[in-house]
Amino acid sequence: MAVKECKKFETKLLKENKEIISILLKDNTTNKNIVWGTDNYLNRGIEVDDEILLDQVMHKRIIRTRSQKAKDEQQKRSKQKAEVFTPSWICNKMNNHCDTEWFGRENVFNTELEKSWESNKHRIKFPEDKNWKDYVNSKKLEITCGEAPYIVSRYDASTGKDIAIKNRIGFLDRKLRVINENAETERTWLIWAKKAFQSVYGYEFQGDNLFIARMNLLSTYIEYMDNRWKRMPTGKELKEIANIISWNIWQMEGIKGNVPYGPKEEQIDFLKSKENINCNIYDWENKKIVSYNELTS
Mean pLDDT of the chain: 90
Give the per-residue pLDDT at 6: 87
Residue 267, pLDDT above cutoff 50: no
pLDDT at 60: 81
Rg, the chain, Cα only:
19
Q: Work out the burial of residue 169: count CB atoms within 10 Å of its CB; fewer than 13 is exposed, 13-18 middle, 19 or more buried.
A: buried
pLDDT grade, residue 3 (50/70/90)?
confident
Between CA 146 and CA 77 the distance in angstroms is 12
The string of pLDDT tens digits covering residues 5-64 is 888 888 888 888 999 999 999 999 999 999 999 999 999 999 999 999 999 998 888 998
d(CA 47, CA 40): 9
CA distances from 180 to 40, 149, 190, 234, 255 (A): 40, 21, 10, 19, 37
User: Can you give the pLDDT at residue 80?
Assistant: 53
- In sequence order, the β-bridge partners of residue 202 are 142, 249
**Distance between CA 208 and CA 147 in Å, rounded?**
9
pTM summary value: 0.90
The pLDDT, as a whole number, for residue 1 is 54
The full set of domain ranges for the chain reads 3-112+140-296
The whole-number pLDDT of residue 84 equals 64
- Which residues does residue 112 pair with via DSSP β-bridges, in sequence order? 117
What share of the chain has pLDDT > 90, as a percent? Answer: 77
CB atoms closer than 10 angstroms to residue 117: 19
pLDDT at 10: 86
For residue 182, the SS3 value is helix
> 30: which DSSP letter?
T
User: Strand ranges (DSSP E) for 173-296?
Assistant: 200-204, 249-251, 280-283, 288-291
Segment 116-149, tens digit of pLDDT: 999 999 999 999 999 999 999 999 999 999 999 9
Do the strands 288-291 and 280-283 form a parallel or antiparallel pair, or are they unpaired? antiparallel
Please, which residues bridge with residue 200 across strands? Answer: 140
Give per-residue pLDDT as tens, 56-100: 998 888 998 756 554 555 455 544 554 567 999 999 999 999 999
pLDDT of residue 65: 79
DSSP assignment, residue 148? Answer: -
User: How many Å apart are CA 146 and CA 126, to the nearest integer?
Assistant: 31
